[in-house]
Amino acid sequence: MNDQSGTGARRGFTTERPICVAILAMGGQGGGVLADWIVALAEAQGWHAQTTSVPGVAQRTGATLYYLEMLPPKEGRAPILSLMPAQGEVDVVLAAELMEAGRSILRGLVTPDRTTLIASTHRLFATAEKEKPGNAIADPSVVVEAAGVAAKRVIGFDMEALANASHSHISACLFGTLAASKTLPFPRDAFEAVIKAGGRGVEPNLNAFRAAYEQAGQPATAKPAVKRPGKRFAPLPAAAGRADLDRLLVRIREFPAPLHDMLFAGVKRLTDFQDPAYAAEYLDRIGTLHALDRDNGGAAKSYALAAAAAKYLAVAMAYDDVIRVADLKTRTSRFERVQRDNAVGDGQIVYTTEYMHPRLEEAAGTMPAPLGRFMEAHPRLFGVLFRKSRRVRSGTIRWFLVLYGLAALKPIRRSTLRHRREMAHIDKWLALAQASIAANYDVAVEIVNARRLIKGYSDTHARGESKFDRVIGAAPQLAARADGADWMRRLRDAALLDEGGIALDGALKTVSTL
């Protein structure tokens, strides 16, 4: 090496001990490319370098650990480099996602006396987080707190956002942050030269590299910022410009101010789902519940019953049926989002393949009620049509027109078998809440909140509805108890713990002994 490379003043790195780097990335994040870049960087500077990889698990969408060691040449002696990282010996950990940073801490790769932890603070949810019916998302603040204790130095920010803005991959942002960290004794120009030598995606990768380099050079905050999704409500407008919509806005203002945001969100959702008349039906139901709420002392509890109903009734009335799914899949905004999320360039063509497996129940539910019942009564006659799944390319004329035709059935939705069943279920649900409010206001609120258990469509919807029916089936017994609302919450939480309802079975057995 020579001093022009920028390493002459850093003789401390030229020891027998190599610089050890661990990269934790998931499929599609370019972890292998990043490892190759670092090896190419070291070798271009005359260093010895070696990389190995250990495939991870499917629960983390192909999480892989890449391990690198590098050291300057020693005259007359060949290097001996390890194939696996040792706890307490890793100098730099590069994590392509926040929970991967947490995984590196748990494995002992991050230590306070040696390790610089470079991590993107965005989240990609694991299978274990997504498979639960309830909210099983891990708390990111735990990783942030642990990183502050476990690492010698932490550099963290949302590198995924920078990569998307540059139409590149997170690997380029990690490479830029590594350069800015000065943990490797190589100049910035050497890093950029490696990207240029790759010959593919050079400009987007350089843009992402430079953006991350500048971001990492900003004054460090005490803790990396982690964004958590929050509720966002559109403000209630003065007017919508259409007489039927303006009438809905006037009706919303007749309710107490704390309900306005949720009611407006519900009206928008149901107008989009069906039409303004359907949204007016929603306000009719909420008006009845609000009057009952007011008459039973709801003002002292911030109209908790009406507030819960404003949220969950809108969701219940905007159920997912075949018409709704087809409508969403053929919207211009959906195709634009697909192109934006995949950074589609000018002149590139994108085809979206949908995986669909409608059951006989979904098809019958889309039919007018008499025909739908006839189809369900003759499963041998019609069931053969729905045994196989289909891969549908919605960007082709043929399948787009099929989906577009299904979406055009919206005007007849109120006559379908599915709609009639959904309305009957909603009527039964709200009637139970209304019947319970006089005996136990809080139990009535929890009956309304139990609607959270029903979501999705097909088997997911059927399982959720079954759990919901079982939970509210305990309401008459619990309404007579002072702690009835607490038990209703426990039942709901138990139902959200697992898909099969095992925890709910145990909770219901406990309730039966009260």
pLDDT of residue 291: 95
pLDDT of residue 220: 61
Q: CB-based contacts of 279: which residues, under 8 Å, 6+ apart? A: 248, 266, 267, 270, 271
DSSP helix/strand/coil, 453: helix
Q: CB-based contacts of 394: which residues, under 8 Å, 6+ apart? A: 329, 330, 352, 353, 354, 400, 403
Residue 19 has pLDDT above 70, yes or no: yes
Cα gap 309→207, rounded to integer Å: 48
**Contact predicate 115/91, CB 8 Å:** yes
Q: Which of 17-31, 339-353, 437-451 has the lowest mean pLDDT?
A: 339-353
Q: Which of 13-17, 294-298, 325-329, 500-504 has the lowest mean pLDDT?
A: 13-17
pLDDT of residue 334: 87
Query: Which position has the token pair 């843009």?
Result: 207
- Residue range(s) in the chain whose domain bears CATH number 3.40.920.10: 3-216
Dump the DSSP string for 436-450.
HTTT-HHHHHHHHHG
Q: CB-based contacts of 54: which residues, under 8 Å, 6+ apart? A: 64, 65, 67, 84
Percent above pLDDT 90 for the chain: 50
pLDDT, tens digit, 9 for 90 and up, residues 46-83: 998 999 988 765 445 567 889 999 988 877 677 778 88
Kindly state the helix (H) or strand (E) to which residue 355 belongs, with its residue range: strand 353-356
pLDDT, tens digit, 9 for 90 and up, residues 486-504: 999 999 999 988 888 899 9
pLDDT of residue 229: 57
Cα gap 360→418, rounded to integer Å: 12
Greater pLDDT, 134 or 1: 134
pLDDT of residue 223: 59
**Helices assigned H by DSSP within 45-186:** 98-106, 127-130, 140-150, 159-165, 170-181
- Quick one: average pLDDT of 427-439? 93
Residue 109 has pLDDT above 70, yes or no: yes
pLDDT, tens digit, 9 for 90 and up, residues 472-483: 999 999 988 899
Closest of 225, 428, 207, 410 to residue 321, by C-alpha? 410
Bridge-partner residues for 157, per DSSP? 120
DSSP helix/strand/coil, 50: strand
| Total count of residues recorded for the chain | 514
Mean pLDDT (the chain, rounded): 86
**Helices assigned H by DSSP within 255-331:** 260-273, 276-295, 304-317, 322-329
Work out the widest C-alpha separation in the chain, in whole angstroms: 92
- Quick one: average pLDDT of 252-264? 95
Greater pLDDT, 140 or 170: 170
**Contact predicate 179/195, CB 8 Å:** no
**Contact predicate 52/67, CB 8 Å:** yes
Residue 445 has pLDDT above 60, yes or no: yes
pLDDT, tens digit, 9 for 90 and up, residues 142-159: 888 888 889 999 999 999
**Contact predicate 169/208, CB 8 Å:** yes
**Contact predicate 356/392, CB 8 Å:** yes
pLDDT, tens digit, 9 for 90 and up, residues 390-416: 788 887 888 889 999 999 999 999 999
pLDDT, tens digit, 9 for 90 and up, residues 211-246: 999 998 887 655 555 655 566 788 889 888 899 999
Cα gap 162→172, rounded to integer Å: 10
pLDDT of residue 2: 37
pLDDT of residue 1: 35
pLDDT, tens digit, 9 for 90 and up, residues 288-300: 999 999 999 989 9
pLDDT of residue 9: 40
Q: In 10 A of CB 200, how many CB atoms?
A: 8
pLDDT of residue 5: 39
Residue 427 has pLDDT above 70, yes or no: yes
Q: In 10 A of CB 442, how many CB atoms?
A: 21
The residue type of 216 is: A
Query: Which position has the token pair 């030598």?
Result: 197
**CA 21 and chain centroid, separation:** 30
Cα gap 314→430, rounded to integer Å: 13
Cα gap 179→173, rounded to integer Å: 10
Q: How far is CA 485 from CA 26, 60, 133, 468, in A?
A: 43, 37, 21, 15
User: Hey, what are 257's tokens?
Assistant: 């101010």
Bridge-partner residues for 267, per DSSP? none
Q: CB-based contacts of 499: which residues, under 8 Å, 6+ apart? A: 131, 132, 133, 463
pLDDT of residue 315: 94
Q: Which of 18-22, 23-27, 110-114, 273-277 has the lowest mean pLDDT?
A: 23-27
Residue 11 has pLDDT above 50, yes or no: no
- The architecture CATH gives domain 3-216: 3-Layer(aba) Sandwich (3.40)
